[in-house]
Chains A and B, each alone.
Chain A
Amino acid sequence: MAKRIVIDPVTRIEGHAKISIFMDDAGNVADAEFHVVEFRGFEKFCEGRPYTEMPGITQRICGICPVSHTLASARAGDAIMAVNIPPAADKLRRLMNLGQFVQSHALSFFHLSAPDFLLGWDTPPAQRNVFGIIAANADLARAGIRLRQFGQEIIEWLGGKKVHPAWAVPGGVRSNLSAEGRAKIKAWLPEAYATTNVALELFKKTLKTHGREVQIFGNFPSLFMGLVQPDGTWEHHGGKLRFTDSSGSIIADQVDVANYKDYIGEAVQNTSYLKSPYYLPLGFPEGIYRVGPLARLNVCEQMGVPKADEELKKFKKLGRGAVTSSFLYHYARLIEILAALEYIERYLDDPELSSDYLCADAGINSLHGVGASEAPRGTLFHDYTVDRNGLLQKVNLIVATGQNNLAMNQTVAQIARYYVRGNDIPEAMLNRVEHGIRCYDPCLSCSTHAVGQMPLQVQLIAPDGRVLSEVARS
């Protein structure tokens, strides 16, 4: 009998969502959809506010990646002021973004995703979490938690607090890095490197026994998008957009973020509060593209730092052209932590980080400004239109998770087709389907412009829309 399976809510991701699996009459999976069930309304209620407040307001979208929002927002503010910010401010913003990459990626790997492949898909849900990792390998769990702390502390040493620092402002930043902060980062770096290497080795070992996951957890052709430097080096803040296809060919390059609308369309579906961006020249839904660690490593030619470049070479061998399996987001994430650590190390000897010329001063010189920055989950756009007094008339935010929406749908469908048969829905199947979502480390708080724990619900839905059965995990 045809039906629909709904997983609601999805757990161990940032925010609230559910998954619907549509069954055909033969009891096979026809399609699957990932629905984000939160509504936030940031774009609307920011209207009328001064643009200078936006780095403070928009970072409240999320408690995991406030830095990403505050930086993208500050950049949009720079564009409205039409200024080049002081070099020290640019470096300090980059340093904070690198700290953000380390903490968010460590959270995704150690706390949210590793319990699945380190403890096993069929581990009882009560143990399949970071506490299970602590029970199985306390040293690893502690190291992972401390790696995240390292990233958080960088944010705090710069911005005064770990979450929602009032620090990046249109035109620059409000404070530099103290000698004390510099010394603390330096002293902590060796431990951070060691943990990252352990995680990399662990994941490469995991890959040897997870060939099936690599094959079916979101392995399909798509486009990839990310920021790159002028020479094609990995970029995380500033830079221009590059799109590549699954063969690895560049299809658009050095696109100014201000022109993103020429390349990205936004489709709205009535089943989710998450918009579905697509590559405009190819149309919807053919223009499916992925962002985030996997995409950034696919679009770049090198990381620009030696240790991460070594890993990038190994990573690129995992695909023909582009690496197309979303299970390898985890690997890409670890390589990005390594690169972030190397870049952080470089900054520590830069005297400019102690400069006190930190903010450009200007009025409103452009009524429209776009700011983009790579968030851990992918490229983040803040697009503001202001009046002549600097009050916002229109706000458009395109977040990473939204851009991965179409890919997440395909991933869920691919995994469900492999594991779901007939009426029986084993919990471990639900977990695998959920993991397909976790690969993207989605942030639904951000994507609907909310945060919490996600229990899981699966509904079986008949072609006529009737819910035939429902399994919910408490």
Chain B
Amino acid sequence: MAAKTLTIDGKQITAEEGETILQAATEAGIKIPTLCHLEGVYDIGACRLCLVEVKGTPKLLPACTLKVAEGMEVATDTERLRKYRRMTLELLFAERNHVCAVCVANGHCELQTLAYSQGMDHVRYEYTFPKWNVDNTHRLFGMDHNRCILCTRCVRVCWHIEGAGTKNVSGRGGKSKIITDLNQPWGASESCTECGKCVMACPTGALFQKGSTVGESERDRDKLEYIVNAREKKQWNA
């Protein structure tokens, strides 16, 4: 595979053709904030946290889906990008009901961690306080739509790692909703294998182990990547 030479934040790097800017940057030790990205499943560029500037393009582009190209000049940490990232985070917080203090993911939440690291000290937009319910019908797990950021990590792990296809998205825009099977209560789902990968993948407290209390949701996401690697590299067959 051909190698491509490009610069990220002034640093000249070489990446393999087909790699994304996010992969190339990570290999070069440059950290780009991400949220919907999850090692082990394909990227969809939904959350817009990994937006970067590319010289010659007026648009901001998501690093997780942007492929490397020869001579590309990429900036990952400019004032403009920081501004947009904060704005994106504020919009996420305003869109649903995120109350960190009493959340099962408090202290272990990727949205919360990003808000701290990106310097989001308040939300300038009016909170929408939508009415969402909690689906606690499953024997082992719960889903609180108030805390969902629609990153679809759960949908992607369900379809592409577990292969059950239980989780889906219904609706459009801010009214989109993660559903199980044909929008049934999770406890009534016939396809769910109760594997818990969706709970492990969730960046916030939207998916949780039933009975969890404040700050108890710690997740071991490396396991997801481990399963995918082992499968793709046929480590189990060796």
Which residues of chain A have a CB within 8 Å of any CB of chain B? Answer: 48-50, 52-53, 55-57, 60, 164, 166, 169-170, 174, 389-391
Contact flag A166-B136 (CB < 8 Å), given A56-B102, A60-B101: no
A169 nearest CB neighbor, chain B only:
B213
* B211 interface residue per 8 A CB criterion: yes
Contact flags B85-108 to A (C-beta < 8 A → 1, else 0): 000000000000000011010100
Q: Inside 8 A of A389's CB, which chain B residues have their CB?
A: 136-137, 187
Are A50 and B214 neighbours in the complex by a CB distance under 8 Å?
no
Are B134 and A52 neighbours in the complex by a CB distance under 8 Å?
no
* B196 interface residue per 8 A CB criterion: no
Are B136 and A390 neighbours in the complex by a CB distance under 8 Å?
yes
CA distance A166 to B205 in the complex (A): 16
CA distance A174 to B210 in the complex (A): 16
* B57 interface residue per 8 A CB criterion: no
Q: Inside 8 A of B211's CB, which chain A residues have their CB?
A: 50, 52, 170
Contact flag A53-B214 (CB < 8 Å), given A60-B101, A60-B102, A164-B101: yes
CB proximity to A under 8 Å, residues B98-134: 101-102, 104, 106, 133-134
A386, chain B: closest CB distance, angstroms: 10
Are A50 and B102 neighbours in the complex by a CB distance under 8 Å?
no
Are A56 and B213 neighbours in the complex by a CB distance under 8 Å?
yes
Q: Inside 8 A of B137's CB, which chain A residues have their CB?
A: 389
Query: Contact size class for B?
Result: 10 to 19
CB proximity to A under 8 Å, residues B128-156: 133-134, 136-137, 142
Q: Inside 8 A of A57's CB, which chain B residues have their CB?
A: 102
A270, chain B: closest CB distance, angstroms: 28
Are B213 and A166 neighbours in the complex by a CB distance under 8 Å?
yes
A174, chain B: closest CB distance, angstroms: 8
A-B contact pairs, 25 of them (CB 8 A): A48-B133, A49-B134, A50-B142, A50-B211, A52-B210, A52-B212, A52-B213, A53-B213, A53-B214, A55-B214, A56-B102, A56-B214, A60-B101, A60-B102, A164-B101, A166-B106, A166-B213, A166-B215, A166-B216, A169-B213, A170-B211, A170-B213, A389-B136, A390-B210, A391-B136
CA distance A329 to B224 in the complex (A): 60
| Known pairs A56-B101, A389-B137 / 16 extra A-B pairs, C-beta < 8 Å | A48-B134, A49-B134, A52-B210, A52-B211, A52-B212, A52-B213, A55-B214, A56-B102, A60-B101, A166-B213, A166-B215, A166-B216, A169-B213, A170-B211, A389-B136, A391-B134
Q: Inside 8 A of A391's CB, which chain B residues have their CB?
A: 134, 136
Among A48, A53, A55, max chain B CB count under 10 A is at A53
Q: Inside 8 A of A174's CB, which chain B residues have their CB?
A: 213
Among A55, A56, A169, max chain B CB count under 10 A is at A56
Q: Inside 8 A of B101's CB, which chain A residues have their CB?
A: 56, 60, 164
A285, chain B: closest CB distance, angstroms: 37
Q: Inside 8 A of A169's CB, which chain B residues have their CB?
A: 213
Q: Inside 8 A of A170's CB, which chain B residues have their CB?
A: 211, 213
